[in-house]
């Protein structure tokens, strides 16, 4: 529970810094009258109840993929549920990929808005310090990304205790304000929320776009299920996070009913003056933790996308000898750093960022609801009526939240949406390009069995070693094998055509990972199967094959042969020319397969070939 508090609830736990404040932003047209304050607080409370407590904690946490959660795991479940319908499966994959891409937009905005909203507390302490808010926020963000290469252990051990203290402070401050204005308890009546929204008329979407800030970060409940377990996440929400948030929002509402001018910053103005400085320090720590969890989530989503064949290989650094999930992806870290700093500097304040925030979050929530429908109906085989009842309400609610956030499009909401669509284009281009490349290679390369028959009587000298050829299609003779015979005129005693598959499940048990199929005296096909959260390690897999499957191999004297294809775009191919150019560029800049599969570099022979797609 303590770990879940630190990682899972860091983002949603810092929402009181800006959610109610932005609800009364002049752009929403909502004035801080007692009726509006009660209605706004009621809307936030029941939004938390419906979206978090009912949708995620009660329903979606049940959709685990062998204990793992997140939209990638949900996509795997939904895709498997509709596997008998290729068209429907294609639609499901598109929806899931779009939801995953939008997460990267959230990964840029969350650190920016969280840290800015915390540092803005110094303006409450001393208004003349206002010009220092942006430089301080930029320094904190720069430091946060700079320490990523050292792993999350540096700050991870403090996550749980700090966020536990944070929720305790939220509850205590909210309760103290509540005692001075108990009439705010009327907000517990859901009818006050309904009346508040109906009274907004045509401007209701502007208000919804602000209210949704209270549930940003909710996807972390599901995404981190594999790290902490369903029960710990549920208990942490029901016993700590949920009560702390409700009390704080009620307290902010009580303050606004007594002092409508406090809409400037109701969170910090809830604190007594002597506690403002400690509050700013604690809030900054909490937002750094919330940002850290989002950054780590971006790393994990990237690795899962790579292993599902949606992105090219990238350099991945494992920062812990004990925890496989603690990783660092330098390219993504650099990309996020530049994007976050630019966004922070461009928007300049949490209020300006709030106009852009929420678009990617709500669309991801909607994608999760749609995928859940397919899982419940076709995966779990529940009755259609029950499936509709369990998902339709959340679909309507998510659609309303999306509509509310779409009103922010021209105020900055275009940024996360454009970023998500761009990443989706890259994913689809990479997936399609790889399919075309493999088809072209298969078309040009001879059948493996025919090739073996041709070289059997060629009288080639035999080298008493093992050669491993990494291939995507073991039914054809790999280019590296043909080039080796053509140029070196030798054949190894044992030739292993090794294929690596990533399945749409998070983990593959050891006894299911390796399959060896002999083809002839000198040739065998070795298939290694990983889950999308497994860490691929080819030498370790071959060692396991030697110990448990009787594969005769001396690992230190084995040679690994790789084919590096140089993609040549052409007109009239399987994709538009501009997409082929993008794919060729991604292929050229893809990370080394040697490092990705942990193959010793001094045992690798790489041979190149040009492929026209």
Mean of the pLDDT values across residues 311-331? 74
pLDDT digits (tens, 9 = 90+) for 544-559: 898 888 888 898 889 9
Q: Is the pLDDT of residue 324 over 70?
A: no
> Does pTM top 0.85 for this prediction?
no
What are the tokens at 470? 């990494």
Q: How many Å apart are CA 437 and CA 595, to the nearest integer?
A: 22
Of the listed ranges 43-47, 218-222, 340-344, the least confidently predicted one is 218-222
What's the token pair of residue 35? 């009726």
* Model confidence pLDDT, tens digit, residues 244-257: 999 999 999 999 99
Let me know if 448 is exposed, middle or buried by CB neighbors in 10 A (0-12, 13-18, 19+).
Answer: buried
CA dist 40 → 204, 214, 245, 468 (Å): 12, 11, 14, 64
| Average of per-residue pLDDT across 562-591 | 83
Write the pLDDT tens digit of every residue in 47-104: 999 999 999 998 888 887 767 777 878 888 898 889 888 889 989 989 988 988 888 8
585 or 224: which leads in pLDDT:
585
- The pLDDT confidence band at residue 326, using thresholds 50, 70 and 90, is low
What is the predicted pLDDT for the residue at 548? 85
User: By the 8 A CB rule, do 424 and 98 touch?
Assistant: yes
**pLDDT tens per residue across span 393-417:** 899 999 999 998 887 888 788 888 8
Question: Is pLDDT at 372 greater than 70 in this prediction?
Answer: yes
Q: In DSSP terms, which residues pair with 492 in a beta bridge?
A: 463
In this predicted structure, what is the pLDDT of residue 405?
Answer: 87
**pLDDT at residue number 214:** 93
Q: Measured at the alpha carbon of residue 421, what is the angle toward residues 612 and 317, in degrees to the nearest 5?
A: 75
pLDDT digits (tens, 9 = 90+) for 203-229: 898 899 899 999 988 877 787 776 677
Nearest to 137 by CA among 439, 293, 307, 345: 345
Which pLDDT score is estimated for 292?
Answer: 79
DSSP category for residue 27: G
Mean per-residue pLDDT over the chain, rounded: 87
**pLDDT over threshold 90, residue 455:** no
Among candidates 228, 236, 230, 266, which has minimal Cα distance to 13? 236
- 153 pLDDT higher than 60: no
The percentage of residues in the chain with a pLDDT greater than 70, rounded to a whole number, is 96
Tokens of 540: 């370790």
User: What does the pLDDT look like over 118-133, one tens digit per residue?
Assistant: 999 898 888 888 899 9
Strand partners, 391: none
Class of CATH domain 2-412 = mainly alpha
The two tokens of residue 93 are 């994959």
Q: Looking at 181-185, 428-432, 529-533, which range is the least confident one?
A: 529-533
**65 neighbors 76 (Cβ within 8 angstroms):** yes
To the nearest 10°, the Cα dihedral for 103, 104, 105, 108? 120
Q: Angle at which helices 414-444 and 359-374 pack, to 10 degrees?
A: 50
pLDDT of residue 235: 93
Strands 317-318, 327-328: pairing kind: antiparallel
Query: What is the edge-to-edge ordering of all strands in the sheet holding 514-518?
Result: 514-518, 523-531, 491-503, 462-470, 559-568, 604-612
Is pLDDT at 493 greater than 80 in this prediction? Answer: yes
**CA distances, 10 to each of 310, 311, 357, 536 (Å):** 29, 28, 17, 30
- Residue 443, classed as helix, strand or coil, is helix
- Show me where the domains of the chain are located: 2-412, 446-612
Q: What is the largest CA-CA distance in the chain?
A: 95
pLDDT of residue 227: 67
pLDDT for position 323 = 53
CA–CA distance, 248 with 44 (Å, rounded to integer): 11
Residue 322 reports pLDDT greater than 60: no
pLDDT band at 561 (very low <50, low <70, confident <90, very high): very high
DSSP code string of 110-158: HHHHHHHHHHTHHHHH-GGGGGGHHHHHHHHHHHHHHTGGG-THHHHHH
- Whether the per-residue pLDDT at 151 is higher than 70: the answer is no
Say if CB 447 and CB 477 are below 8 A apart. yes
């Amino acid at each position: 529970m303590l770990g879940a508090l630190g990682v899972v609830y860091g983002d949603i736990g810092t929402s009181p810094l800006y959610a109610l404040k932005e609800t009364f932003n002049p752009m929403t047209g909502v004035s801080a009258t007692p009726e509006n304050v009660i209605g706004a607080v009621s809307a936030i409370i029941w939004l938390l109840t419906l979206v978090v407590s009912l949708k995620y904690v009660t329903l979606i946490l049940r959709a685990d993929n062998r204990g793992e959660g997140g939209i990638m795991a949900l996509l795997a479940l939904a895709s498997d549920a509709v596997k008998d319908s290729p068209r429907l499966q294609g639609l499901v994959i598109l929806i899931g990929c779009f939801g995953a891409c939008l997460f990267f937009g959230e990964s840029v905005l969350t650190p920016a808005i969280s840290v800015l909203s915390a540092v803005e507390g110094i303006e409450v302490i001393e208004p003349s310090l206002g010009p220092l808010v942006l430089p301080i926020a930029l320094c904190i963000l720069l430091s946060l990304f700079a320490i990523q290469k050292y792993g999350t252990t540096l700050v991870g051990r403090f996550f749980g205790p700090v966020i536990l203290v944070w929720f305790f402070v939220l509850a205590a401050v909210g309760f103290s304000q509540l005692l001075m204005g108990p009439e705010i308890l009327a907000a517990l009546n859901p009818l006050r929320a309904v009346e508040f929204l109906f009274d907004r008329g045509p401007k209701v979407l502007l208000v919804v776009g602000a209210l949704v800030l209270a549930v940003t970060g909710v996807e972390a409940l599901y995404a981190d299920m594999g790290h902490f377990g369903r029960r710990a996440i549920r208990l942490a929400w029901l016993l700590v996070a949920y009560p702390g948030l409700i009390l704080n929002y009620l307290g902010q509402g009580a303050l606004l009913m007594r002092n409508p001018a406090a809409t400037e910053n109701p969170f910090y103005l809830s604190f007594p003056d002597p506690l403002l400085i400690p509050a700013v320090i604690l809030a900054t720590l909490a937002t750094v933790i919330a940002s850290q969890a989002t950054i780590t989530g971006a790393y994990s989503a990237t690795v899962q996308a790579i292993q599902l064949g949606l992105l090219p290989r990238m350099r991945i650094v494992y920062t812990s000898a004990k925890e496989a999930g603690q990783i660092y992806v330098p390219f993504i870290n650099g990309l996020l750093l530049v994007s976050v700093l630019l966004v922070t500097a461009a928007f300049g304040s949490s209020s300006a960022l709030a106009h852009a925030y929420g678009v990617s979050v709500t669309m991801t929530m909607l994608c999760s609801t749609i995928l859940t429908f397919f899982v419940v109906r076709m995966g779990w085989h529940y009755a259609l009526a029950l499936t509709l009842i369990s998902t339709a309400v959340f679909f309507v609610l998510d659609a309303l939240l999306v509509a509310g956030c779409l009103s922010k499009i021209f105020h900055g909401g275009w940024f996360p949406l454009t970023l998500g669509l761009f990443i989706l284009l890259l994913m689809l281009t990479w997936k399609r390009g790889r399919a075309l490349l493999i088809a072209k290679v298969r078309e040009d390369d001879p059948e493996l069995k025919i090739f073996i028959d041709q070289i059997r009587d060629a009288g080639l000298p035999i080298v008493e070693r093992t050669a491993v050829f990494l291939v995507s299609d073991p039914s054809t003779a790999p280019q590296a094998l043909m080039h080796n015979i053509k140029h070196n005129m030798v054949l190894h005693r044992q030739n292993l055509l090794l294929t690596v598959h990533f399945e749409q499940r998070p983990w593959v048990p050891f006894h299911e990972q390796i399959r060896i199929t002999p083809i002839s005296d000198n040739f065998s096909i070795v298939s290694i199967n990983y889950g999308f959260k497994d860490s691929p390690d080819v030498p370790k897999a071959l060692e396991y094959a030697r110990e448990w499957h009787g594969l005769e191999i001396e690992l230190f004297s084995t040679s690994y042969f790789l084919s590096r294809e140089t993609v040549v775009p052409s007109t009239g191919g399987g994709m538009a020319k501009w997409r082929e150019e993008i794919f060729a560029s991604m292929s050229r800049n893809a990370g080394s397969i040697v490092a990705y599969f942990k193959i010793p570099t001094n045992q690798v022979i790489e041979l190149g070939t040009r492929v026209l797609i």
